[in-house]
């Protein structure tokens, strides 16, 4: 329970259905260790939100525990976030948090407490497919809030024990239910930022994690598609593929970051068309609807959370999976997750390693 309206309603619905419910909240980090202390009450997993979760549990008449996972979170999520940016990639910390923290550490805690099922406030669904004998992960009914993309790392044993009470509801309906239960979190705004960067200033966060980083990497070259030098950048970790604003150069037209070369400390920019890619390679694959990818398969592919998806064919690869789009996709970003859908069903996913231009 993060202290938001979604997890609060999930607990309330389970309690209403007669389940024996216990609320678990993770203590993930401290402001002293991550900086950016803006005292944001909406920030996921802050002291304020933990207190909100405790109040909801008290009103529902269920136990509430705070689990200290700061060391594990630092090792599995925060360090990975920093390392990926320093390698010129753009990570998905919330996806790692789901698989490495919620569905491992908290699920282990559920075992200790004698519980079988693990529930969250995600907008997604789980169904058992008798034909294949596998648990399917499906999109939530509310397409505007669907979070199946962020859950692609979940395994069959984890899905078998997972409940998503909100999967069949819209966000509007959840707000209504929260009002009916008169939950403290009923009017609480959603948290949009990465929880351990509450001020949303990634450059500040990285520079504090690696003292002197800006000075070490500043004045690297910004080049166009023909390798002409257009100016100097502030350090490649502070840029991401597709970025248009804050580049610090004037070329008489909008340009976008098309490539980040960490080894040479160079950032490449180009026209919007230069972001177009024919495909990509992904590694760290996890298959959900199938045991493994043995032959080419047509799917819909999402390369970021708010992506509507593009039709593509996925091909088995010794190191992961090759994706070829029917047309083109833009701003394929190494480090981000790529997730494959068959209708509402999540086939599987992986981590983008490199794009394919032609």
The answer to whether 247 and 218 are in contact (CB under 8 A) is no
Name every residue whose Cβ is closer than 8 Å to that of residue 195 and which is 6 or more positions away in sequence.
Answer: 28, 29, 43, 44, 45, 46
Whole-number Å distance between alpha carbons of 34 and 19: 37
Q: Which of 44, 45, 195, 277 is catalytic?
A: 195
Cβ neighbours, 10 Å, residue 76? 19
Q: Which two tokens stand for residue 304?
A: 């970021």
Is 94 assigned a catalytic role?
Answer: no
- Is-contact 29 154, C-beta < 8 A? no
Token pair belonging to 5? 């309206």
Residue of 46, 170, 160, 167 whose CA lies nearest to 103:
160
Instruction: Please report which residue ranges of 187-297 form alpha helices under DSSP H.
Output: 202-209, 213-217
From the candidates 44, 45, 57, 97, give the one annotated as an active-site residue.
Answer: 97
Helix (H, G, I), strand (E, B) or coil at 109: helix
Measured CA to CA, the distance from residue 253 to residue 271 in angstroms comes to 9
| DSSP per-residue codes, 18-66 | T----EEEEE---HHHH------TTSTTSHHHHHHHHHHHHHHT--EEE
- Does the annotation count 97 as an active-site position? yes
Catalytic residues: 97, 195
């Amino acid at each position: 329970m993060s202290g938001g309206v979604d997890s609060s309603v999930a607990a309330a619905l389970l309690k209403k259905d007669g389940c024996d419910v216990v609320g678990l909240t993770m203590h993930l980090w401290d402001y002293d260790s991550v900086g950016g202390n803006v005292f944001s009450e909406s920030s996921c997993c802050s002291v304020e939100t933990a207190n909100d979760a405790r109040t909801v549990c008290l009103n529902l008449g269920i136990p509430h525990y705070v689990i200290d996972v700061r060391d594990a979170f630092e090792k599995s999520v925060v360090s990975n976030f920093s390392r990926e940016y320093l390698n010129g990639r753009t990570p998905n910390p919330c996806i790692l948090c789901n698989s490495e923290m919620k569905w491992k550490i908290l699920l282990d805690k559920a075992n200790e407490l004698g519980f079988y099922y693990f529930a969250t406030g995600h907008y997604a669904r789980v169904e058992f497919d008798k034909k294949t004998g596998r648990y399917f992960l499906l999109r939530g009914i509310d397409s505007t809030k669907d979070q199946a993309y962020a859950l692609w790392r979940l395994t069959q044993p984890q899905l078998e024990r997972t409940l998503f009470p909100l999967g069949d509801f819209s966000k509007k309906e959840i707000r209504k239910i929260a009002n009916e239960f008169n939950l403290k979190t009923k009017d609480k705004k959603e948290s949009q930022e990465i929880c351990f960067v509450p001020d949303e200033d990634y450059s500040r966060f990285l520079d504090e994690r690696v003292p002197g980083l800006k000075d070490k990497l500043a004045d690297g070259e910004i080049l166009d598609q023909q390798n002409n030098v257009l100016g100097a950048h502030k350090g490649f970790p502070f840029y991401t593929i597709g970025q248009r604003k804050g580049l610090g150069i004037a070329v008489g037209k909008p340009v976008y970051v098309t490539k980040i070369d960490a080894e040479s400390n160079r950032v490449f920019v180009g026209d919007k068309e230069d972001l177009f890619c024919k495909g990509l390679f992904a590694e760290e694959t996890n298959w959900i609807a199938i045991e493994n990818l043995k032959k080419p398969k047509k799917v819909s592919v999402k390369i970021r959370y708010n992506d509507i998806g593009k039709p593509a064919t996925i091909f088995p690869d010794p190191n992961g999976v090759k994706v070829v789009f029917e047309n083109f996709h833009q701003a394929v970003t190494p480090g981000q997750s790529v997730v494959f859908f068959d209708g509402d069903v999540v086939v599987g996913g992986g981590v983008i390693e490199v794009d394919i231009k032609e």
